[in-house]
Amino acid sequence: MTEHQVAREFDASGLRCPMPILKTKKEIQEVAVGEILKVIATDVGTKKDFPAWSSRTGNEILEVVEEGDKLIWYIKRVK
């Protein structure tokens, strides 16, 4: 795992599709362009949803780390 300078953290644990992606769309707007949002999710659907969303929006997924039942996403705001 890489050390990231996280500007904001959002815990989406327990949320089911489509809520993690919908709330992440709002949360990414709270960080400046170039900053990193850390998202903690338990919905395995984010494995498909987040890369598709990133591709559409241009935001960059820097890393995803699996820790037990949690997926920890590091997303850099590009736009």
**pLDDT in the model for residue 28:** 97
What is the pLDDT of the chain when averaged over all its residues? 96
Percent of all residues in the chain with a pLDDT value above 90, rounded to a whole number: 95
Q: pLDDT tens digits for 38-66?
A: 999 999 999 999 999 999 999 999 999 99
74's CB contacts (< 8 A; 6+ apart) are 2, 4, 6, 36, 37, 38, 61, 62, 63, 64, 65
As a whole number of Å, the end-to-end CA separation of the chain is 25
Does the global pTM surpass 0.85? Answer: yes
Domains of the chain and any CATH numbers: 6-76 (3.30.110.40)
Question: What is the structure's pLDDT at 1?
Answer: 66
Active site residue 17: yes
Among 6, 9, 14, 17, the active-site one is 17
